[in-house]
Amino acid sequence: MQTAEIRNRWLKYFGDRGHTVVPSAPLVSDDPSLLFVVAGMVPFIPYMTGLIPAPYPRATSVQKCIRTNDIEEVGKTPRHGTFFQMNGNFSFGDYFKEQAITYAWELLTTPEDGGGLGFRPEDLWVTVYKDDDEAIALWKRIAGLPDERIQRLDKDTNYWSTGQAGPAGPCSEIFFDRGPAYGVDGGPATDDDRYVEIWNLVFMQYQIDNVTSKVDFDIVRELPNKNIDTGMGLERVAFLKQGVDNMYEIDEVRPVLDRAAVLSGKTYGANHDDDVRMRVIADHVRSSLMLMSDGVAPSNEGRGYILRRLLRRSIRSMRLLGVEGPTFADLFAASRDAMKASYPEVETEYDRISRLALAEEETFLRTLAAGTTILDTAVDETKTASKQELKGETAFLLHDTFGFPIDLTLEIAEEAGLTVDRTAFDRLMSEQRARAKADAKSRKTALADLSVYSAFRAQGETVFTGYDFLNTESRILGIIKDGQSVDRAVAGDIAEVILAETSLYAESGGQDADEGSIVGRGFDLEVLDVQKPVKGLISHRVQVRSGEVGVGDEATSVVDPTYRRGATQAHSATHLIHAALRQVLGPEAHQAGSYNKAGYMRLDFNWSNPLSLDTRTEIEDIANAKIRDDLEVTTRILPLDEARAAGAMALFGEKYGDEVRMVDIGGPWSRELCAGTHVSHSSQIGLINLVGESSIGSTNRRVESLVGVDAFRDFATERALINQLTSSLKTPREQLPDRIADLSTQLKVAEKRIAEFEAAALQTRVPSLVEKAAPVGALTVVAEAIGQVKSTDDLRSLVMSVRERLGQGSASLVALAADVQGKPAVIVATTQGARDAGAMAGALARTAAGILGGGGGGKDDLAQGGGSDLAAIPAALSAIVDAVRG
């Protein structure tokens, strides 16, 4: 019975009995405490706890689930999988134990031709909570089970709760006995693989409190509405009904395993370690496919990290099977074809899924190539020194330099019988993070050691006059060069200058520093950066363009008016975009950071999902409408509490003094705490052109915009491009999309025809290749390099045509090598006579691939290999001939 058929029978059985059929929820859980849906009942928890009234009295579902807490057991046992499907039936105060047990027994034991699952009653055992006499009596009456096939177990296995105060209740589990060939007698209590749990019935009937552990809590009272929560493991039932030994061999998983065997040239069932690796690949590829179909993408945190780990464990397992090249194109396609009957979205979304998977594979293969050599050498050196622990420094080098994940280092070390010094690794990681923070600060400010500023700060705060003036006369309080306080600086020097007053804005609040100069009698200083090294003090990093400047000299700070105008436009635009975001998305779209400079702004905000094109357009339209409305921009200095009471937005984590500067644009529509420079009316911003929106983490998004003149220039560039296209294509602007689509279609047709011509031309080489057949030992061999071909498919087709021309009745071997897109490839094909003589294509392809600097494999009759060294093609073909001769 196919897995999809079991699924359909389940839903029909309970649907026919008044249960609302509920589609599977996505794998990504709405519960903030869970990364994924880990059980079939998770989407129904609000109904079970009474948090939300249930919309139906009874329901059924087949829920997609992901669990990775037992990831190390995958492939080693018959039932551990990271992705699984849980068939559930639920009652929310409707029916209870008697009906739940009746449903379970009836569906399991009804013959297949009667719509049931056809299990023999004598093969089924049940466990119950040790004190649940009611359930025991029901099992005896409804199922007719004898006492010896009903086992009482304790709270650790047969009592369900959330681990917190709330609903809870005893469980009853149904097990299938696979027979004495699979283990010892004694029932489920033996915890032996012979007995496979297939169904768990949770009787949620009590309110518990004072919970200190899974088995230590107080039962406070019975629930007024008793619930039923059951789960039948779809994969477990499938492997029992399909007569295979484990869940990796069922119809929805086995095709990936078989494909891994073909790609590696291994035989499933021949070697235990290889079997485990193939099962890991089959499980992890399917899990990754399902995660990506629900929108999860590989990353370094949260859900994305778990996905990345599954993908990388698959790649690592393929390497341990001897395949070093990319395999995801084949493996994911096999999983797609196996799963699409149950989940059509894996096919409709496959292009996106495939792009993610192949990109991750390509990246990680580069990582492995660089890191594995170092790690293997370190493992050998550790063993040679008779040590059991790999140095933490080595693990850190791999992580820091090559991006080699620590969990993979741990895994490879464990396979070699070693541990890793995690204490040293964690210490080095902490030191690196501290250095990174210090380096970033140093690169950003390029300021001297902070102690040098103490004397200048003691003279008072730097007065910032830039809100009102672009030029301010002052005097030089100090000069710092190479971290030391000095009296003067001369032409060509780079130094820091401290002024008593300045009109130049120091970088802060997301706004970049002003551009400008500092001038005085006999000197001209170009301002490179303006920062606040200590609170209340502004330092100007300058290069002396001419003259000589000394402490005490009179000086004037001069802001570049064009730059300042652009900066104020960009900062005010940031406020407009923020207000527009909140208007469209709601108050939860809160600013999480920003950066703006003349002509450009970016805004980070709390949001999990990408913004649609329509949403982005709406945000942009609102912001530009506010520009056209010529809103007044006002600033006020007032107490922090008063500003917050007025509704001013404050950045989370930002420190504010007792008094703050509040900026209003159009009154309360945009009201934020901000120390930046702004326009006086919104119309002065000119134009906002929202050019980008992207993810910067699992819960944060980023929008980017050009502002003012830069926005106009970008539109002008686009207009010029459109004009060029309309002229070149002789097509009116409004018809350009259709015209370009037509050209694209024509191009694809032309490319297809070219490919057909090239393939046909390649086939004309068959006679000349056949003529080059020569005896090698007992075989007839064609071993030739044929130059460049477009794809390995073309090369394979040519090899098979030559073999066919030589005749399947002959003892013949064909090995052709070519330059495929700049990389060497070799394909080997054998006839039955050649195989009878001992010539196996898979082994010969691996031999050649080793010389080409890569890997390969396949079946005995047809196999391929590849590498990176084109110059090694003649040697690879010679190696095949030598192997045949030998």
Binding residues for Zn(2+): 571, 575, 674, 678
Residue 862's H or E segment, with its range, is strand 862-866
- Other C-beta atoms closer than 10 Å to the C-beta of 296 total 24
- The candidate with the shortest Cα–Cα distance to 469, out of 500, 496, 497, 501, is 501
Cβ atoms of 541 and 527 within 8 Å: the answer is yes
Please give the Cα distance from 839 to 830 (Å, whole number): 7
Tracing tokens 């989407």 back to the chain, one arrives at 43
* Amino acid identity, position 447: L
**Amino acid sitting at position 796:** R
Say how many C-beta atoms besides its own lie within 10 A of residue 520's C-beta. 18
Task: With beta carbons less than 8 A apart as the criterion, state whether 297 and 307 touch.
Answer: yes
Which tokens hold the place of 177?
Answer: 């006995």
User: Dihedral sign, CA of 538, 539, 545, 546?
Assistant: positive
Q: Which of 724, 718, 720 is nearest to 689 (CA)?
A: 718
How far apart, in whole angstroms, are the C-alpha atoms of residue 573 and residue 624? 9
- Decide if 857 contacts 848 (C-beta within 8 A): no
3-state SS assignment for residue 36: strand
Query: What is the DSSP-derived secondary structure letter of residue 235?
Result: H
Cα angle 361, 364, 367; round to 5: 155
Bridge partners (DSSP) listed for residue 534: 537
Residues of each annotated binding site: 571, 575, 674, 678
CA atoms within 13 A on the CB side of 122: 1
- Are β-strands 812-820 and 823-830 bridged in parallel, bridged antiparallel, or unpaired? antiparallel
Pairing of strands 779-789, 812-820: parallel
The whole-angstrom separation of Cα 199 and Cα 186 is: 19
Please state the separation of Cα 242 from the chain's center in Å.
34
List, in sequence order, every beta strand (DSSP E) within 617-726: 633-639, 659-665, 670-673, 688-695, 700-707
Structural element, H or E, at residue 225: strand 218-233
* Residue 228 CB coordination number (10 Å): 26
Give the three-state DSSP class for 119. coil
Task: Extract the runs of DSSP E, i.e. beta strands, from 436-553.
Answer: 463-464, 471-481, 484-486, 488-490, 494-499, 501-502, 516-520, 523-534, 537-550
Q: 129 with 170: CB under 8 angstroms?
A: yes
Instruction: Give Cβ neighbours of residue 134 (< 8 Å, ≥ 6 apart).
Output: 97
- C-alpha 663/C-alpha 634 separation (Å) is 6
Query: For 525-586, where are the alpha helices, taking DSSP H only?
Result: 561-585
| Residue 814 β-bridge partners | 782, 829
Among 350, 387, 533, residue whose Cα is nearest residue 456? 533
